[in-house]
Homo-oligomer: A and B are copies of this chain.
Amino acid sequence: LTYHHGDLREALLVAASTLARTGGPDAVGLRAVTRAAEVSHNAAYRHFADRDDLLLAVSERCMERLADLIARRLSEVEAGPDPGRDAWNRLYAAGYAYVEFALAEPGWFRTAFAAPPPGRLPDLGAPLTDARPYRLLSEAIDGLVAAGVLPASRRPGAEFPAWAAVHGIATLLVDGPLRLLDGDVRDQVVAKVVTAVGTGL
């Protein structure tokens, strides 16, 4: 019996992530998490105010994971002779990565977007700019303007249709009516959406 655990907060977040991975946000309960971390069921109260606080923390972690994959896929785009082409490739890579994450880790994806119950909102002035996936997508569009392949006049607000499209197809495929779509058809649908993100700008 070791009393001071070392880093119980981290251990709880890891356990919560494992549960969320298969069960989504609903699987993140105080009792379930502490059980998984092999610790008494109220030990978590030393590190989190309550259940929602824990869920919020693991949700943020899932959001980071999504952003990490997008960032990785962006970094894998190799530069060619045409900067405009590169900029487009980066946008597509970001869009694909978004959907790739949702399909590969549906539990984490759902947890990332699990809303805290109304009233518990951390009083944020900038609600969306904090979401790194949004920022990465936005920066990819900035890249289009910088490369001269998107008129600056079309830039303002252009990230919203892009975000909506990839987020929409991701949720439709993961949770929604498209959830039992077969692999090949699914890939074609995703490709359709991602390319439409480009033409939509």
Contacts and interface: CB of A to CB of B under 8 A. Distances in A.
A3 to B, nearest CB: 38
Interface stretch (A81-89, A142-150, A170-178): A170-178
B161 A200 contact: yes
Contacts of A45: none
A8 to B, nearest CB: 29
Contacts of A180: 121, 124, 127
Given A171-B168, A196-B200, A181 B127 contact: yes
A41 interface: no
A56 interface: no
Contact of A166 (B124, B168, B188, B200): B168
A175 B176 CA distance: 14
A189 B163 CA distance: 11
Given A168-B163, A168-B167, A127 B178 contact: yes
Contacts of A134: 177
Interface string A118-153: 000100100110110010000000000000000000
18 contacts: A113-B177, A127-B177, A127-B181, A128-B178, A130-B177, A134-B177, A158-B196, A161-B196, A163-B168, A164-B164, A164-B165, A167-B172, A168-B170, A168-B171, A171-B171, A196-B201, A197-B200, A199-B201
Interface of A: 113, 115, 121, 124, 127-128, 130-131, 134, 157-158, 160-161, 163-172, 175-181, 188-189, 192-193, 196-197, 199-201
